[in-house]
Amino acid sequence: MSRSFKAAIKENLPVHATHNLLSLSVPDSMPDPRPGQFFMVGMNRGTDPLLKRAFSLFRRTDEGLQILYRVRGKGTDILRNMKEGAILDMLGPLGNFYPLPSEEKTPLVMAGGIGIASVFSLIEDLAGKAIVFYGARTKEELLMLNEVKVYAKEVIVSTDDGSAGLKGTAADALRAFLAPQASDAHFCIYACGPHPLLKAVARMSKEYRIRAYVSMEEHMACGIGACLGCVVKTHDGFKRVCKEGPVMSASEIVW
């Protein structure tokens, strides 16, 4: 089954000074995406920029899907200025996805900044079950927080500057939560965010003997495992984030 398709922009709305929510209409032939998977999106005019950009699935909709993205370069600046009706060349869904927890486990979902884009559809699928640790630099950078609260069992917010929730990082909030808990395995952790957050999650998952899954972020050129440009070092050798990931067990990564 081909994963290459064209999608039409339905909305491309700013949710922050540097972040937009892109709503797309997609063909019925597109495989159903799973939380944690991603899409390669072409936004070039001619050959500049040449390569597609990788974006996590944010949410599935009745018409297709949504992508929450940060404007940080030429490609995303072009994307931000695209209007309703514009057509995008896309490839996906790609990569693997977050494995759902068993009934006896409480999911702890970690999101650092734009990492919420990857875990939101997981929180949605786990409606009423997930305890979400959502951290950002400031309260203005807590994206889609009200939507997260609709689906989460509980949301523990933290900001680096203390402008909302706890002062500190999402990792700090997780450690404060786990500290009084018994060291058992009735939790399961899912995380996406900056590398220091994922490394801290891996360390705590080992300390508290909790299985943890992290969504790795590396620059991707092809998205299908051919170029080997997105490899990360694991205890079993190098693995491709786009193919063997992006979701990996935190314990397999060499941090």
The yes-or-no verdict on residue 44 having pLDDT over 70 is no
245 and 124 co-located in one domain: yes
Q: Which helix (H) or strand (E) holds 186?
A: none
Report yes or no on 119 lying in a domain: yes
The yes-or-no verdict on residue 1 having pLDDT over 60 is no
pLDDT digits (tens, 9 = 90+) for 126-137: 999 999 999 999
Report yes or no on 101 lying in a domain: no
70 and 110 co-located in one domain: no
More confident residue, 248 or 74: 248
Report yes or no on 152 lying in a domain: yes
The yes-or-no verdict on residue 91 having pLDDT over 60 is yes
pLDDT given at position 57: 98
pLDDT given at position 180: 87
Q: Per-residue confidence at 48, pLDDT binned at 50, 70, 90?
A: low
Section 100-110 average pLDDT: 95
Number of domains in the chain: 2
pLDDT given at position 90: 95
187 and 215 co-located in one domain: yes
Last residue of a domain, one of 59, 93, 127: 93
147 and 240 co-located in one domain: yes
pLDDT given at position 74: 87
Give the span between the Cα atoms of 5 and 89, in whole angstroms. 6
The CATH number of whichever domain residue 8 belongs to comes to 2.40.30.10
pLDDT given at position 79: 94
Report yes or no on 163 lying in a domain: yes
242 and 118 co-located in one domain: yes
pTM of the model: 0.94
Report yes or no on 217 lying in a domain: yes
Report yes or no on 182 lying in a domain: yes
pLDDT digits (tens, 9 = 90+) for 176-235: 999 987 655 689 999 999 999 999 999 999 999 999 999 998 788 788 888 888 999 999
Which residues does 46 contact at the CB level (< 8 Å), separation at least 6?
none
Report yes or no on 16 lying in a domain: yes
What residues form DSSP beta bridges with 132?
109, 155
**Per-residue H/E/C for 116-179:** HHHHHHHHHHCCCCCEEEEEECCHHHCCCHHHHHHHCCEEEEEECCCCCCEECCHHHHHHHHHC
35 CA to centre of own chain: 8
Helix, strand, or coil (residue 116): helix
Q: Per-residue confidence at 45, pLDDT binned at 50, 70, 90?
A: low
89 and 111 co-located in one domain: no
Q: What is the mean pLDDT of the chain?
A: 93
116 and 41 co-located in one domain: no
Section 92-105 average pLDDT: 95
Section 74-101 average pLDDT: 94
pLDDT given at position 131: 98
Boundaries of domain holding 75: 4-93
192 and 82 co-located in one domain: no
160 and 231 co-located in one domain: yes
213 and 180 co-located in one domain: yes
113 and 89 co-located in one domain: no
The CATH number of whichever domain residue 232 belongs to comes to 3.40.50.80
